[in-house]
Homo-oligomer: A and B are copies of this chain.
Amino acid sequence: MLNSYSSVDKVLLAVDCIIFGFDNEGLKILLIKRGFEPEMGKWSLIGGFLKKEEKLDSAAIRILDTYTGLHNVYMEQLHTYSEIDRDPVERTISVAYYALINIENHNQELIKNYDAQWFSVTDVPKLIFDHDSMLRHAIRRLRYRTSTKPVGFELLPEKFTMLQLQKLYEAILSKELDKRNFISKINSMDILIKLEEKDMQSSRKGSFLYTFDKDKYDEKSLNDFVLNL
Contacts and interface: CB of A to CB of B under 8 A. Distances in A.
A77 to B, nearest CB: 6
Contacts of A54: 84
Interface string A193-204: 000000000000
A10 B8 contact: no
A84 to B, nearest CB: 6
A124 B77 CA distance: 27
A53 B84 contact: yes
A52 B12 contact: no
A82 B15 CA distance: 12
A55 B80 contact: no
Interface in A12-49: 12-13, 35-36, 48-49
A123 interface: no
B13 A11 contact: yes
Nearest to A53: B84
A82 B14 CA distance: 13
A4 interface: yes
A2 B44 CA distance: 14
A3 interface: yes
Contacts of A3: 35-36
Nearest to A87: B5
B80 A56 contact: yes
Contacts of A66: 2
A36 B4 contact: yes
Contacts of A4: 36
A49 B11 contact: no
A157 B101 CA distance: 47
A49 B2 contact: yes
A50 interface: yes
A171 to B, nearest CB: 19
A51 B9 CA distance: 6
Interface of A: 1-5, 8-13, 35-36, 48-57, 63, 66, 77, 79-80, 82-84, 89-91, 93, 95
Given A10-B13, A56-B93, 10 more contacts: A2-B49, A3-B35, A3-B36, A5-B12, A9-B49, A9-B51, A10-B12, A13-B93, A50-B93, A77-B80
